Amino acid sequence: MAAHELLPSAETVHWGYFDANLRPVLTIAPDDVVTVHSVSGGHNELPAADSPATVRPEQRAILASVPQGPGPHILTGPIAVQGAMPGDALRIEILDIQLRDDWGYNLVKPLSGALPDDISERCLIHLAIDRTRRIVHTPWGFDIPAQPFFGVMGTAPPRPWQRQTSIMPRAFGGNMDNKLLTAGTVLYLPVFEPGALFSVGDGHAVQGDGEVCITAIETGLTGTFRIGLVKNANLSLPRAESATHYITMGFNEDLDDAAVTALRQMIEWIVACSKLSFEDAYRLCSLVADLRVTQLVNVHKGAHMILPKSIGVILA
């Protein structure tokens, strides 16, 4: 195993899209550890010049020279994994996530979010982040404990799909905005192209399930990942496991369909790894699994189901 570090720069990020034609900015062996730094915020989201917030020089350089694609997310990568082939899965062990910047932002705007008709003006606020104490100072007189995670983690889409916006989560992952994907969790991502081409960004200091106003507290993060390879996994969608739960996900413009997909993914996982029938796995999900709304705001809405490991079913 080797250790790598990937810093954001005009040469190591892409803005607003996933694309199988992107050249890797780093190539690693399976089970190598990579520390990846990210930036968040475009020209219109930066703090004012007289703000005490620190905007990193590399972020200004990126904004000055990297063309923006169809989405707003600045993604570090892609990282190629040697030996990764279509049909495999990346096993991404999230070892650590640290707050990188002393500020974040939240945006509401017309025609967006879960209440698209209730907002008449674009309104951006900046929030100070205490990285040492891991708290976010709000303008409402109280602090929020930080629970950092990356909203966007994904592999390259299949080449025939061509360039895909970073806004909508799909089979390759992308803008999943699942707050459970934090330190200590293992994420499994399908591989559709040789090398997998993993990219990460859209750092969140904290977010509630639903992400209802379209943004969380968007900020730069530093994540450390051990990126392994599962051969012939044949996953159709991302899945994950934490220390306490198994996690499946579904994405669709219709929230009901996203929820059904997350449920079907969990049943499929249970049946593949246990002696339970489809019907019994279905019953088990109704008894002990929780079905949650991940986000309502990324065009493709997200749902996730969590199954507690404490019941004794082992999904390996």
Number of domains in the chain: 2
| Containing structural domain, residue 208 | 3-230
Among 230, 252, 269, identify where a domain stops: 230
Among 202, 230, 258, identify where a domain stops: 230
Specify whether 66 is located in the same domain as 191. yes
Q: Identify whether the C-beta of residue 138 lies closer than 8 Å to the C-beta of residue 144.
A: yes
Q: Which of the four pLDDT bands, split at 50, 70 and 90, describes residue 1?
A: confident
> Is residue 80 packed enough to be buried (19+ CB in 10 Å), middle (13-18) or exposed (0-12)?
buried
Mean pLDDT of the chain: 98
Our CA angle for 246, 33, 187, nearest 5°, is 20
Q: Where are the beta strands (DSSP E) in 100-220?
A: 103-108, 123-130, 135-137, 143-145, 149-154, 164-165, 173-175, 186-190, 198-204
316 pLDDT exceeds 90? no
For tokens 């790598």, name the residue: 4
CATH assignment of the domain containing 276: 3.10.28.20
Specify whether 210 is located in the same domain as 133. yes
Instruction: Specify the pTM.
Output: 0.97
Specify whether 224 is located in the same domain as 102. yes
**pLDDT (mean) for 223-233:** 98
Specify whether 253 is located in the same domain as 207. no
CA 143 to chain centre: 24
Helix (H) or strand (E) holding 283: helix 278-288
Structure token digits, residue 257: 């369909």
Looking at the chain, the whole-number percentage of residues with pLDDT higher than 70 is 100
Mind listing the pLDDT tens digit for each residue in 134-156?
999 999 999 999 999 999 999 99
Specify whether 188 is located in the same domain as 291. no
Specify whether 302 is located in the same domain as 173. no
Mind listing the pLDDT tens digit for each residue in 155-195?
999 999 999 999 999 999 999 999 999 999 999 999 999 99
Any domain includes 238: no
Any domain includes 237: no
CATH assignment of the domain containing 106: 2.60.120.580
Specify whether 262 is located in the same domain as 146. no
Any domain includes 134: yes
